[in-house]
Amino acid sequence: MTVYFVSDLHLKPERPDLTRAFSRLLDTTFQDATELYLLGDIFEAWIGDDTPTPTLESVFNSLKQLSDQGCKIFFQHGNRDFLVGEAFAKSINASLLPEELTVDLPVGKTVISHGDQLCLDDIEYMQFRTMVRNPQWQQDFLSKSLEERLAIARQIRDASKERTAEKAEYITDVNQQAVTDLFIRSGVDLMIHGHTHRPCIHQHEVDGKQATRIVLGDWDKLGWYLKVEKQGYDLINFPIED
């Protein structure tokens, strides 16, 4: 059993190199996958399953082909692609996951999430997150025209980048108490998440026991993925070619 995790690819038309790199990974390295977990922010923005995405067709085809070969694909929403819905999931034969989930991996039970709900020190973002994860807000947004949704998404994205650049580093990282609480709540000693763009393997002490938190990397000059097998796990990076 071989399981892969990726997050924070932020695929967008302006970065065709990222799309090519992910398609290539799906068509080569991930061919031995029994399960693939997409832990959010796979897309820079997702404004509805009805949105035309011609630049991403190669990724969608590769995901569907991988699924047809027997790999189970799972999608967990991020802060950029929280509007991914059942229609898209069905198109690639993926299952949508809740924001926190305990799964059985070859190395044992593990709690997984995108990770943004752990950033409690970023009060402004948490307020925004509460708003956009509200089903009524999502319904209202999806009822707008494509042009309106594009304009709103662009405004949100630009404002987010500007505010994030002004924040202290600790504010945009996870809150340590939130991490501890999730370990305790899930009853496991291994956690995997993305979101913070700070790839690392952290060791924590939780109720007198050792726990491990693996943070996936974001894709830019390097691509990142986590490979999990019975003998252990490996956080891997590789160069993104132009």
Closest to 2 (Cα-Cα) out of 29, 39, 34, 36: 34
Give percent above pLDDT 70 in the chain: 100
Contact 192, 199 (CB under 8 A): no
**In this predicted structure, what is the pLDDT of residue 167?**
75
**In this predicted structure, what is the pLDDT of residue 223?**
98
**In this predicted structure, what is the pLDDT of residue 171?**
86
Q: Which residues pair with 191 in a beta bridge?
A: 111, 213
Which amino acid belongs to residue 163? R
Closest to 9 (Cα-Cα) out of 186, 18, 155: 18
Q: Which residues of the chain have pLDDT under 50?
A: none
**In this predicted structure, what is the pLDDT of residue 242?**
78
**Cβ-based neighbours of 202, under 8 Å, separated by 6 or more:** 212, 213, 214, 215
pTM: 0.95
Contact 217, 192 (CB under 8 A): no
**In this predicted structure, what is the pLDDT of residue 159?**
82
Q: Which residues pair with 202 in a beta bridge?
A: 213
> What are the pLDDT digits (tens) for 8-59?
999 999 999 999 999 999 999 999 999 999 999 999 999 999 999 999 999 9
Half-sphere exposure of 230 (CA within 13 A, CB side): 1
For 165-224, give the DSSP string: HHS-GGGGS--HHHHHHHHHHHT-SEEEE-SSS--EEEEEEETTEEEEEEEPPPPSSEEE
Which amino acid belongs to residue 16? P
**Cβ-based neighbours of 213, under 8 Å, separated by 6 or more:** 179, 190, 191, 192, 193, 201, 202, 203, 204
List, in order of start, the domains of the chain with CATH numbers.
3-239 (3.60.21.10)
**In this predicted structure, what is the pLDDT of residue 156?**
85
